[in-house]
Structure 1
Amino acid sequence: MALHKENILLVDDDIDILELLQRHLQSMDYHTYKAVSVNEALNILKDTYIDLLITDIQMPEVDGLQLVKFVDEHYPEIPKLVITGYPSVYGALEVIKSGAIDYLTKPFTKEELKLAVLKSFESGAKRKRPKPSLGIVKSTGYADMIGSSEAFQKITDIIDRVKNNKATVLIQGESGTGKELVARAIHYTGQFSRAPFVAVNCGGIPENLLEAELFGYVKGAFTGANDNRNGFFQAADGGTLFLDEIGTASLSVQSKLLRALQEKEITKVGSRKAEKVDIRVIAATNANLLQAIKSMDFREDLYYRLTVVEINVPPLRERKLDIPLLVDKFLLKYGVEYKDRLIGISPEALNILQRYNWPGNIRELENIIQRAVIMCDRSIEVKDLPQNLKFQIDFPNADYLSLREMEKEYVKRVLASVGGNKTKAAAILQIDRKTLRDKLN
């Protein structure tokens, strides 16, 4: 028999069935992974290259079809084989609609299992996952980011161009859009990924301490400086230093940052000796730095030194195509964390999420999903969403009226409600009859 090395994931809460499947498949020279719960299966899928999923339908907490649908959406290249003890025409249709290639009815023989597995592999070969290096398929995932919108693709294209060099990058975008995720993607997908990544929130460090924290200090430089200490620049040497909220740095710190970027060297507070550093600096801001330059709060020369490469992260309201993918990601994260199972979302609830304007961007969306997962039972429904979110939705196709047109419509309604009696209408509108007559004319 030819040697097979395909990895098959078996999911069933019945230990006896799992052992039977494993015994049969190992005798056919397949490598198997076993999971007795969806949570366990998801962890295996996340960390292991799987060639075929075989799952039971009837399982506690999560219906097997939900797992098949999830895998079909997130791992479409993996063929799926369903085992069922309750065969029916309707059931077969549901299995195929959910994304499975075939289903096997209990009890089954070893030969029937073999034929079903071979059929699954043959059918799945057409959807075999491409090697990442070929760049044939653009994945919806990039590092820890996810999206399929044109705006998302523009960001990942820039990341691909800068990840293997140490050009300075400025990431701009509203709060909550994921600027640090972009910075981490640049670092961890490139050739310097094994080097340090040091993130610094400039806005979270008192102004009088930021310089010492960034560049380090020598003993006796100021009260409390009892030892020599390295700063964030030295800690990130060879790797990436991420400076978040760069717009909050004082002009004095900005001056030292400019020198560090130009000369590739820093000087500790209290020292006269310059030290060479080899790092890539990625800065981020949600402030308008050009406006800060005009108001003399930000150095123009530092701005141009930072913007060797500029990445603008759009707000979530401008990439609503990505909302279902982000919702899916957070449902998996918090469903497993809080409920130990997959959590769904109703079309009505998802529709509300897609129509909302998201002033807090992705951070707000994640918080909403986290709360909804805690409050819901098996699926997030409209009732599980915050009240303010239901009523603050965006109506991009609404026909808005001018103030004059709205007034005209309201006057007509009031007149109609009193049978055309102008005296009563004027009293309700709290204007005199002459003013009402002028408006009507």
Structure 2
Amino acid sequence: MTNHFPVDRKLFDDVMVPNYAPSAVIPVRGKGSRVWDQQDREFIDFAGGIAVNCLGHCHPALVGALKDQADKIWHLSNVMTNEPALRLAKKIVDHTFADKVYFANSGAEANEAALKLARRWALDVHGAGKTQIIAFNQGFHGRTFFTVTVGGQKAYSDGFGPKPGDIDHVDYNDLEALKAIMSDKTCAVMIEPLQGEGGLVSPTQEFIEGVRELCDQHNALLIFDEVQTGVGRTGDLYAYMGVNVVPDILTTAKALGGGFPIGAMITTTELAKHLKIGTHGSTYGGNPLGCAVAEAAFDTVNTPEVLNGVKEKAKRYVAGLNAINAKYNVFKEIRGKGLLIGAVLTEQYQGKAKDFLNAALEEGVMTLVAGANIIRFAPSLVIPDTDIDEGLARFEKAVAKLAK
């Protein structure tokens, strides 16, 4: 028998490790781009679980896939393969540059696998000296010790003792800085084809093409972290398609499962062979339940209607944000790509992104931040236009209060 007791925000402080500071709002159900909390207050979801809920909440295709697979088989182990994993892998391979797929449970794990593969490839093919990994300041690649060290934000990686070595950082969009530290000792360059946590920064075409060229020149691997940009978020199935630069390894998670935890590292046959039997693994990676849901999400997003819809909805968002700004003058720039949008606060409102998030929540709209100066939006890729308009109307009320 289940014992029922009050489940409220106070309970969080009693029973949870204090590494998060969640809001007092506890959502209990969602449908499409709206969620309701314990008091049955309605919110429009412009956060998307941080770019995860690519089809909103309780999308029939995902619910159907989950229920269907729940009655079949949930977990095996990698001693055996399973049908949903093979079907999903085949679809990913058919629609990307990649030939081979490795499944994990999260973006960090997919990135961990990518970095381990790069180091193993370098050792196998080039010998012991080729170990340098280069990434970018303000980049974010996950929270495992290897990925958080490769991520370019010291606040996340400091304070845990000695870090994994031979990892260097340069500024995003600074090709000369990259050129200056690359050599034949460079094993890999890891980059987001649009920086997410770092502030919704798009690469210049010259920069992203230059990164590819430098990798080719120094025989280094190019790893695209598409954990946040992948599966339709930018209006292309993967962002590399939009910048027209093909990586050697790509990581995908977040939207891949539409809310179910799953990640994947994808690459070529030539590189994949270096992760031979026993070199890497994951107990839950590729479990049938996760793969069944991810297959439904992938199929639903990977259509011209949804992908073109993302581009159209992005225009509507940006126009709406610009209209709000014309009245209140709180943003100095609206940036990003597709439905990964950042509203950068003016000097007057520096450091106040969280205030905007809290004010928006009070008006019934969920948003995100990217650092202290940027409000981030990552809604469902199929959010109805009426919800965009209503959410922006609520957001405008929040802006109006703060701009007084």
Q: Same fold (TM over 0.5)?
A: no
Whichever of the two has the greater Rg, that structure is 1
What TM-score do the two structures reach when normalised by structure 1?
A: 0.29
What TM-score do the two structures reach when normalised by structure 2?
A: 0.31
If asked which structure has higher relative contact order (CA below 8 Å, sep 6+), I would say: 2
